[in-house]
Chains A and B, each alone.
Chain A
Amino acid sequence: MAIIASRGSPIGEALRPLPCLSDNKWLIFRYDRPQTAKQTPGRIASDYTLRIRPRHRLTYVNIKLIGHRHTLTTLATKDQQLFAGTLEGEQTPAGWTWVIRGAWTLDYYRALPTTLPPGSHSPEALDLSSLAALDTAGAALLGTLVGPRQLLALLDGANHPTARHLGLLRMVAEAQLAEPQPDHRRQRWLDAVEQLGILAASGWRNFLVLAGFMGQALATLAWLLPQPGRWRLTALVNQIHQTGLNAVPIVALLTFMVGAVVAFLGATVLANFGATVYTVDLVAYSFLREFGVLLTAILMAGRTASAFTAQLGAMKVNEEIDALRTLGTDPMEVLVLPRMLALLITLPLLTFVAMLSGIAGGAVVSVLSLDISLTRYLAIVQEVPVRHFLTGMAKAPVFAFVVALIGCLEGFKVAGSAQSVGEHTTSSVVQSIFAVILLDAVAALFFMEMGW
């Protein structure tokens, strides 16, 4: 059965205005009596006026027969000619003709034929006279089914196409012809091995780049030191303010609490040996040698390295760093050195704050729950040899150097987009924490072997 628009206009033209109808407007066209009366529901007289009320794009939800209140939904979906497109092969005197019917559009994409039946002959002529609607999606599918070269060749002799359909088919087929579509790479098991190799190689390359960057920073520093006129004191003080002063509360609070936790831990374990008083030594030794500097460095890695990466990365995206270069200034001197020097100054100071604060945390626990008086606590702390304080402090500048340079280097590695800034910020935090802990472990081994 066919829905035929009256006054001789083809269905395609009837469909075209549909998507742009508003909800309160009607598109009316006439429905001629179907050839086979069996398939029609109820009594349907010859000429009907259909009202199509579009809701979304081409929908046929609200098609009603006026006066009968039959929805045409079921009828319409049965009617392949108006709705989802079909492809038929026909043997004609001109050879195999492919008749393309219905709507070849995105809305019907899933109902369109995507493969040819086995044994189907390739077309020698095309009949586009029943093609109702076409967009790029349908045209692309036809191009794939017929083959773009074959389609282009057959279009000229095609039966009754509309100018727009012809133009669209030609354009899409030419586009398909111009560039063969790249074949999709399948994921294979061996890809995991490849990824591992890539990861290892890039890890090694990263390390070399970092080493180079450190050398470059030290060389710039050595060149800059004898020229006090070039020292950027304002930038340095600003960075000290941001990375040092502003970090004091969080460092102090965190280490105070860890100091209290270590004291509780010591009290619990040492009470079994009746050696509760050694809790004080535990807190003092651990904070002077390890925890003070380690906790501070890890905090700085999370707080400052990420800030450096984000600042420099945003400048990189905005081409500010390129602008600096073209203005004849060295980004290393202007951006990296103030940050590095600021952290070299502030991280030891913060480490000292952390040591004091951790010991204070231990003192609070000892006084309140272990019955060790404050004078006794301080007397025990004073007996700790000063070399433990020095071994702890000695690590601070090293950590500061590594954290600052990893943060800056990751900032310089940012490329192009805002997403890249995020990725490199994450990477800078992970790398600097890893580096700090690794260096601390190496230092612990070294100090132990040296008997310091």
Chain B
Amino acid sequence: MTAVNDDSDIAISVRGLDNRFGANVVHQDLDLDVRRGEVLGVVGGSGTGKSVLLRAIVGLIRPHRGRVLLCGEELARLSGARRSALEQRIGVLFQNGALFSSLTVVENIAFPLIEHCGLSRRDAEQLAAVKLALTGLPARAGTLYPSELSGGMVKRAALARALALDPELLFLDEPTAGLDPISAAAFDRLLLSLKEAFGLTVFLVTHDLDTLYTSCDRVAVLADRKVLVVDTLERVSATGDDWIQSYFHGPRGRAALAAAQQR
């Protein structure tokens, strides 16, 4: 096979991105590449626009300037069926889960399957039950409504919905925020095993240092309206910037590093 696909190892490419809300400039001339098959952790202080970047990449906000290429295609320029087709190749886990509150968990997961793959309700719900089990939720959770779930279960159910169409790109917005340490560690392991099995490319916005150490191949640091540095965790934490130093070498950073080294 000779694949003529020169930049196929870049799954997401962001070039010259400007985001602003009124006079508030969030990003200016931001560049970022995410390689196929890697887990990229995105960190930054509060208000540095991590979630805004995620929303701009998946096309929920239209950037002021700049281009975002997903798998070589510019989502903002596509329309109708083409846009929908590209959107089916990405899965997003929102910070609070964003499960549809009027549907049960299984119906939430089956929704994209019924909408886009024309599966019958029975087939879709059977598949949804498998996805549910993949994310480690018991089958009886499937018949519950989102308001009846605990925080950790909501995250898992939302992950199952994000994975419903077997996406290539997975976007996670603070997946372990609000989880207890045991659930958070289980979520990290789950993410890694799913990534291995599906060959997922993961864009992970997080504050959780343990998640960074266990899951991420590379880390991007957002500061001053752009990406300060993107590299492996060792190299990023060795960067001389003040914020990075206090982030990775503060008490919590050292503890997470020690925990990672013990593993």
Contact = CB atoms under 8 A, between A and B. Distances in A.
A417 B147 contact: yes
Counting chain A CB atoms within 10 Å of each CB, the highest count among B72, B148, B197 belongs to B197
Contacts of B197: 164, 167-168, 171
B166 interface: yes
B255 interface: no
Nearest to A416: B147
A57 B88 contact: yes
B1 A22 contact: no
Contact of B1 (A7, A416, A417): A7
A182 B140 contact: yes
A137 B166 contact: yes
Interface in B98-126: 101-102, 113, 117-119, 122-123, 125-126
Given A57-B88, A168-B198, A179 B138 contact: yes
Interface string A136-160: 1100100110000000000000000
Given A415-B147, A416-B147, A27 B127 contact: no
B157 to A, nearest CB: 14
B4 to A, nearest CB: 6
A109 B88 contact: no
A418 interface: yes
Interface in B142-201: 142-143, 145-148, 163, 165-166, 168, 193-194, 196-199
Counting chain A CB atoms within 10 Å of each CB, the highest count among B85, B134, B165, B193 belongs to B134
Counting chain A CB atoms within 10 Å of each CB, the highest count among B133, B165, B168, B193 belongs to B133
A23 B101 CA distance: 37
Given A21-B72, A110-B118, A416-B148, A179 B5 contact: no
Nearest to A170: B197
A419 B36 contact: no
A21 B3 CA distance: 10
Contacts of B117: 106-107, 109
Contacts of A144: 126
A29 interface: yes
Contacts of B123: 109, 114
Contacts of B140: 182
Contacts of B73: 22-23
A9 interface: yes
A17 B5 contact: yes
A292 B199 CA distance: 71
Contacts of B71: 19-22
A110 B196 CA distance: 27
Nearest to A20: B71
Counting chain B CB atoms within 10 Å of each CB, the highest count among A9, A136, A168, A178 belongs to A136
Contacts of B122: 184
Contact of A17 (B3, B81, B139, B193): B3
A129 interface: no
Contacts of B145: 416-417
B246 interface: no
Contacts of B216: none
Interface string A97-131: 00000000111011000100000000000000000
Interface string B209-244: 000000000000000000000000000000000000
B130 interface: yes
Contacts of A415: 147
Given A106-B166, A109-B119, A419-B101, A176 B130 contact: yes
A420 interface: yes
Contacts of B1: 5-7, 9, 13-14, 29-30
Interface in A180-200: 180-182, 184
Interface size class of B (residues with CB under 8 A): 35 or more
A230 interface: no
B4 A417 contact: no
Nearest to A422: B102
A28 interface: yes
A344 interface: no
Contact of B126 (A27, A57, A181, A419): A181
A107 B113 CA distance: 11
A136 B163 contact: yes
Contacts of A137: 127, 166
Nearest to B140: A182
B131 interface: yes
A420 B133 contact: no
Contacts of A419: 101-102
A20 B196 contact: no
Contact of B166 (A14, A25, A55, A135): A135
B89 interface: yes
B82 to A, nearest CB: 8
B130 A20 contact: no
Contacts of B101: 416-419
Contacts of A136: 127, 130-131, 134, 163, 166, 198
Nearest to A185: B143
Interface in A8-41: 9, 13-14, 16-17, 19-23, 25-30
Contacts of A114: 123
B11 interface: yes
Contacts of B143: 182
Given A109-B119, A168-B197, 14 more contacts: A25-B72, A27-B3, A29-B2, A30-B1, A57-B88, A106-B113, A106-B166, A107-B117, A135-B198, A136-B198, A140-B126, A167-B196, A171-B134, A181-B126
Top 10 A-B residue pairs of the complex, sorted by shortest distance between their CB atoms = A416-B147, A22-B72, A175-B133, A417-B101, A140-B130, A179-B139, A20-B71, A135-B166, A56-B85, A5-B1
12 contacts: A21-B71, A22-B73, A28-B2, A30-B1, A55-B85, A107-B117, A136-B130, A164-B197, A175-B130, A182-B139, A417-B101, A419-B102
